[in-house]
């Protein structure tokens, strides 16, 4: 045995080293010398792939270890682990380790990982958003309608569809009048018994209104303004674009991160970005269509503007009012209607409006 080996093993204690590159464990001997942890592999035929001299000032206890012994890592190779069961080595090493290095490094690496993940997800969502908006235009107007009808029928298990026939006919007439002016197919309007104040469009020209929305609309013009906005989304194919974006993001994330990404992490990140619903552009686009529809149908914009004002005032609270979370920017919406709206009529004859108000009862 060479003399240097003998010197290194004086006071050397056994330990196990994981080099952070692969899962192999390496039997090693550890010496504390001149402010350093000196690691000597026992089996020189398969050496570990990491530095073997760890400065004590950079080395720290790894607290995520589930074992009884002492587990140590060091800043230059934070994935490497030195596992020490030897009590005398643990006792002499423990007080000399850096108490803060591990924590700050772990935090820094967690932050770095989160930033990288966030950037990748934002890029994917943005790209998918752009691609899906273009792709949505390639589908026929009714595409996705069957899927949407399935969603409405699922929803109706909890929130039954309102069947008051005069009310249903009145809303159909209002909607068809609007899309006729655009030369677009009539949307399929469903109203569900649900106290939540909400309205949403689904792929294939489906628009869903809630009884809560009807109850909150004190005038037919307000309901017409919300319906016009939803028809705006429908004719722009925004719901289909949103659905395609969700699918594209799923596929892209799987391609980029493969199986290595924690599914829940990805879901949370994507959910956060997609939950913001339509983009500002899509909202503005739907508002532009809605304004044209209300003007073409000679519907007075003021009750609608007032309704959106009320929503804007409640935007900080009231979970029961979901309309502004799915369609934010109520304040801008009200301003657009006031500034550019030209209509003077009610949108619905008084008998029709009474029928709509009682269609869910
Ligand atoms: Zn909207």
3-state secondary structure 38-61: EEEECCCCCCCCCCCEEEHHHEEE
Tell me: do 46 and 136 sit in the same domain. no
Tell me: do 63 and 174 sit in the same domain. no
For residue 332, the cross-strand partners are none
Residue 276: the pLDDT is 45
* Residue predicted with more confidence, 70 or 231: 231
- Distance separating the N- and C-terminal Cα atoms of the chain: 95
Tell me: do 325 and 261 sit in the same domain. yes
Q: How many angstroms is it from 332 CA to the middle of ligand 1?
A: 12
Q: How many angstroms is it from 199 CA to the middle of ligand 1?
A: 9
Residue 64: the pLDDT is 53
Rounded Cα–Cα distance for residues 84 and 116 (Å): 34
Number of domains in the chain: 2
Rounded Cα–Cα distance for residues 246 and 332 (Å): 27
* Residue predicted with more confidence, 117 or 92: 92
Tell me: do 144 and 48 sit in the same domain. no
pTM: 0.61
Whether the per-residue pLDDT at 1 is higher than 50: the answer is no
Q: How many angstroms is it from 334 CA to the middle of ligand 1?
A: 13
Q: How many angstroms is it from 153 CA to the middle of ligand 1?
A: 22
Q: How many angstroms is it from 305 CA to the middle of ligand 1?
A: 15
Residue 138: the pLDDT is 74
Instruction: Give Cα separations from 271 to 62, 69, 180 (angstroms).
Output: 33, 40, 36
Residue 104 lies in a domain: no
Q: How many CB atoms lie within 10 A of CB 42?
A: 11
Rounded Cα–Cα distance for residues 293 and 289 (Å): 6
Q: How many angstroms is it from 267 CA to the middle of ligand 1?
A: 24
Residue 125 lies in a domain: yes
Tell me: do 89 and 134 sit in the same domain. no
- In which domain, by residue range, is 294 found? 118-358
Tell me: do 21 and 143 sit in the same domain. no
Q: How many angstroms is it from 80 CA to the middle of ligand 1?
A: 51
Q: How many angstroms is it from 321 CA to the middle of ligand 1?
A: 14
Average pLDDT of 118-129? 74
Range of lowest pLDDT (119-123, 164-168, 258-262): 258-262
Q: How many angstroms is it from 233 CA to the middle of ligand 1?
A: 6
Residue 46 lies in a domain: yes
- 53: Cβ contacts below 8 Å, ≥ 6 apart: 36, 37, 38, 39
Rounded Cα–Cα distance for residues 117 and 205 (Å): 35
Maximum distance among all alpha carbons in the chain? 106
Alpha helices in the chain (DSSP H): 3-9, 87-93, 101-137, 145-158, 165-182, 211-216, 220-235, 238-257, 263-274, 280-296, 302-313, 323-326, 330-340, 350-358
Give backbone dihedrals phi and psi of 289, rounded to 5 degrees, phi first.
-65, -45
Proportion of the chain above pLDDT 70, given as a percent: 80
Q: Is 313 helix (H, G, I), strand (E, B) or coil?
A: helix
| Sheet of 206-210, strands arranged across | 188-192, 206-210, 199-202
């Amino acid at each position: 045995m060479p003399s240097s080996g003998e010197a290194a093993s004086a006071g050397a204690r056994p330990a196990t080293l994981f080099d952070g590159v692969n899962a192999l464990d390496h039997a090693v001997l550890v010496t504390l010398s001149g402010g350093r942890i000196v690691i000597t592999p026992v089996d020189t035929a398969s050496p570990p792939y990491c530095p073997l001299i760890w400065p004590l000032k950079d080395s720290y206890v790894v607290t995520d270890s589930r074992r009884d012994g002492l587990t140590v890592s060091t800043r230059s190779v934070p994935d490497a682990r030195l596992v020490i069961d030897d009590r005398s080595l643990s006792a002499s090493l423990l007080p000399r380790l850096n108490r803060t290095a591990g924590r700050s490094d772990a935090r820094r690496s967690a932050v770095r990982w989160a930033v990288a993940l966030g950037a990748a997800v934002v890029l994917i969502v943005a790209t998918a958003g752009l691609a899906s908006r273009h792709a949505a235009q390639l589908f026929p107007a009714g595409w996705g309608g069957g899927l949407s009808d399935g969603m409405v029928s699922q929803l109706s298990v909890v929130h039954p569809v309102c069947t008051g026939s005069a009310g249903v006919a009145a809303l159909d007439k209002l909607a068809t009048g609007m899309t006729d002016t655009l030369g677009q197919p009539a949307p399929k309007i469903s109203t569900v018994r649900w106290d939540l104040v909400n309205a949403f469009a689904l792929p294939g020209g489906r628009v869903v209104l809630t009884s809560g929305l009807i109850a909150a609309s004190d005038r037919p013009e307000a309901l017409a303004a919300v319906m016009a906005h939803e028809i705006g989304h429908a004719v722009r194919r925004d719901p289909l674009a949103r659905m395609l974006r969700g699918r594209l993001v799923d596929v892209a994330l799987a391609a980029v991160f493969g199986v290595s990404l924690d599914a829940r992490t990805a879901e949370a990140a994507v959910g956060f970005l997609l939950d913001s619903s339509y983009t500002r552009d899509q909202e503005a686009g739907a508002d532009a269509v809605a304004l044209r529809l209300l003007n073409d149908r000679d519907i007075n914009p003021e009750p609608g503007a007032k309704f959106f004002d009320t929503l804007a005032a409640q935007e900080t609270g009231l979970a029961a009012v979901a309309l502004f979370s799915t369609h934010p920017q109520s304040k801008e919406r009200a301003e657009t209607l006031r500034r550019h709206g030209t209509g003077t009529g009610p949108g619905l004859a008084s008998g029709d409006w009474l029928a709509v108000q009682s269609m869910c009862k």
